[in-house]
C-alpha cells in the first residue's frame, strides 16, 4: 500500500491534486491507516495512470469519471461520445482562430492598438457570434475594411448623441432629427441592405449590458434615436396634412413604433425562403401588415389614408432606412393583393 505522498511522488503530481480527486469520487484510497491516513493499492495506482492518460488527451475530470465508471456501456458508445466532444472542441478552436485572424488583420492595418482595446474587440466578436448565424458573421467579416473605416464616424456620432441626451434636447427638435438621419445612414453603410442583420445587432445592443459597456451605446440612446427618427419621418408628412392630422399621425406612429421591426424581419424571412404569396404563412403576414399599417397611420379616417398614401408616393425618403427595399415592398404588395 502507498501513502498519499508516495503515490503523488510516483505519479509526478501534488498531494493536493490527489485530495481533489478523492473529493470528486474520481480516485479514492482503498484503505486508511490506523491514524486515518489514505492508503492506495496498486489497482488505485493503475486507475490514476488511466486518469492521467485521459486527461492528457483533453478530457475533463467529469468525462474521465464517466468513462471509468461506465463499465456497462459498450465501448463504441463511449468512443462516439468522445468523438462528438472532440468535434465540439475543434469547432470552438476554429471559431477562436477566425476571431484572432480578424484581430490580427486589424492590428496589421493599424486600426487596433495595444492595451484593453483589442480585448474589448474580441469580446464584441464573441457577443455577436452568440446572436448571429454563420452567414451573418461571414457577412460582417466580408465588410471588415468598411467597418474599420466607419469606426471613427461611429465614435463621433455616439458622442454627439450622448451630448444631446445629456442636454435634454427634444427628440422633435431639428438637432435630434438631424442626428437620427446621421445614425440611420451610418447603420445603412455598416450593414448595407441587410436589415435583418441591423435588427439583430440592435437587439444585441439593447439586451446586452456588456455590449453597452464596450461601445457606450445604451438602450436609452437607442430609444432616443428611434423616437427622433420617427419625428424626422413625420416632418416629411407636414406639407400634406393639416396640423390636427399631423398630430394624429404622430400619436399613431409613436404608439406602434416598436411593432414594425419584427414584422419586417418576418417578411424578409418569408421572402428569403421563397414562400409563395398564397401560402398560409404569407397570407397571415399580409393580414398583420395591413392591420399595423392602418393602425399606425390613419385608423378609420379615409381622408387621412388618402393623404398618407399620396405622401408615400411623393416622398421616397419615407421608406429610407426602414428596412424596406423595392424587392421586399413588391413581395408584400403582391401578398396584400391576394387578400
pLDDT at 215 (0 to 100): 83
Percent of the chain surpassing pLDDT 70: 93
Helix, coil or strand: residue 121 = helix
**Model's pTM, two decimal places?**
0.69
From 51-65, 155-169, 176-190, 215-229, the region with the lowest mean pLDDT: 51-65
Can you give 251-316 as a three-state secondary structure string?
A: HHHHHCHHHHHHHHHHHHHHHHCCCCCCCHHHHHHHHHHHHHHHHHHCCCCHHHHHHHHHHHHHCH
pLDDT digits (tens, 9 = 90+) for 148-170: 677 788 889 999 999 999 999 99
Phi-psi bin for 25: left (phi > 0), alpha (psi -120 to 50), beta?
left
Q: How confident is the model at residue 110 (pLDDT cuts 50, 70, 90)?
A: low
Q: What is the pLDDT of residues 7-18, one digit of tens each?
A: 999 999 999 999
Higher-pLDDT residue of 327, 139: 327
- C-alpha span between 59 and 62 (Å, rounded): 8
Mean predicted confidence (pLDDT) in 211-216: 86
Q: Is the pLDDT of residue 81 over 90?
A: no
Q: pLDDT above 90 covers what percent of the chain?
A: 52
* Contact between 125 and 105 (Cβ < 8 Å): no
- 254 pLDDT band (50/70/90 cuts)? very high
State the pLDDT confidence band at 79, using cuts at 50, 70 and 90: confident
pLDDT category, 144, cuts 50, 70, 90? Answer: low
User: Who's near 94: CB < 8 A, 6+ residues apart?
Assistant: none
Say what the pLDDT of residue 108 is: 72
Which residues touch 85 (CB under 8 Å, ≥6 apart)? 59, 63
Closest CA to 174 of 261, 232, 103: 232
Establish how many alpha carbons lie within 13 A of residue 271's alpha carbon, considering only the half-sphere containing its beta carbon. 21
Give the closest residue to 151 by CA, choosing from 124, 115, 181: 124
C-alpha cell recorded at residue 316? 421616397
In angstroms, rounded to a whole number, what is the distance separating the alpha carbons of residues 205 and 187? 13
CB 257 within 8 A of CB 227: yes
The segment with the largest mean pLDDT, out of 55-59, 107-111, 128-132, is 128-132
pLDDT at 83: 80
- Residue 113 scores a pLDDT above 60: no
Of 64-78, 231-245, 272-286, where does mean pLDDT reach its minimum? 64-78
Instruction: Say which residue, 279 or 121, is predicted with more confidence.
Output: 279
Which stretch of 16-20, 28-32, 203-207 has the lowest confidence by average pLDDT?
203-207
Tell me the mean pLDDT in the region 163-189.
Answer: 95
Amino acid at each position: 500500500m502507498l501513502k498519499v505522498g508516495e503515490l503523488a511522488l510516483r505519479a509526478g503530481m501534488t498531494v493536493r491534486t490527489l485530495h481533489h480527486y478523492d473529493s470528486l469520487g474520481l480516485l479514492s484510497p482503498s484503505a486508511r491507516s490506523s491514524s486515518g491516513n489514505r492508503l492506495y493499492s496498486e489497482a488505485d495506482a493503475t486507475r490514476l495512470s488511466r486518469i492521467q492518460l485521459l486527461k492528457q488527451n483533453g478530457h475533463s475530470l467529469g468525462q474521465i469519471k464517466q468513462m471509468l465508471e461506465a463499465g456497462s456501456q459498450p465501448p463504441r458508445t463511449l468512443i462516439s461520445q468522445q468523438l462528438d466532444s472532440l468535434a465540439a472542441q475543434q469547432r470552438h478552436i476554429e471559431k477562436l482562430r477566425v476571431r484572432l485572424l480578424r484581430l490580427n488583420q486589424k492590428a496589421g492595418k493599424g486600426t487596433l492598438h495595444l492595451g484593453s482595446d483589442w480585448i474589448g474587440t474580441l469580446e464584441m466578436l464573441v457577443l455577436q457570434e452568440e446572436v448571429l448565424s454563420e452567414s451573418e458573421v461571414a457577412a460582417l467579416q466580408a465588410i471588415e475594411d468598411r467597418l474599420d473605416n466607419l469606426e471613427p464616424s461611429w465614435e463621433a456620432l455616439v458622442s454627439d448623441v450622448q451630448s444631446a441626451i445629456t442636454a435634454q434636447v427634444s427628440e422633435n427638435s431639428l438637432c435630434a432629427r438631424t442626428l437620427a438621419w446621421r445614425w440611420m445612414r451610418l447603420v445603412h453603410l455598416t450593414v448595407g441592405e441587410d436589415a435583418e442583420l441591423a435588427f439583430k445587432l440592435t437587439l444585441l445592443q439593447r439586451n446586452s449590458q456588456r455590449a453597452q459597456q464596450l461601445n457606450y451605446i445604451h438602450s436609452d440612446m437607442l430609444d432616443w434615436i428611434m423616437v427622433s427618427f420617427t419625428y424626422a419621418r413625420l416632418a416629411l408628412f407636414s406639407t400634406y396634412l393639416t396640423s390636427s392630422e399631423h398630430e394624429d399621425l404622430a400619436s399613431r406612429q409613436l404608439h406602434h413604433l416598436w411593432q414594425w421591426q419584427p414584422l419586417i424581419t418576418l417578411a424578409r424571412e418569408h421572402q428569403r425562403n421563397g414562400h409563395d404569396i398564397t401560402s398560409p404563412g404569407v397570407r397571415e403576414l399580409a393580414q398583420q401588415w395591413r392591420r399595423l399599417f392602418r393602425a399606425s397611420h390613419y385608423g378609420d379616417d379615409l381622408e387621412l389614408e388618402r393623404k398618407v398614401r399620396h405622401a408615400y408616393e411623393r416622398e421616397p425618403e419615407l421608406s429610407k432606412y426602414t428596412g424596406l427595399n423595392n424587392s421586399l415592398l413588391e413581395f408584400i404588395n403582391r401578398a396584400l393583393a391576394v387578400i
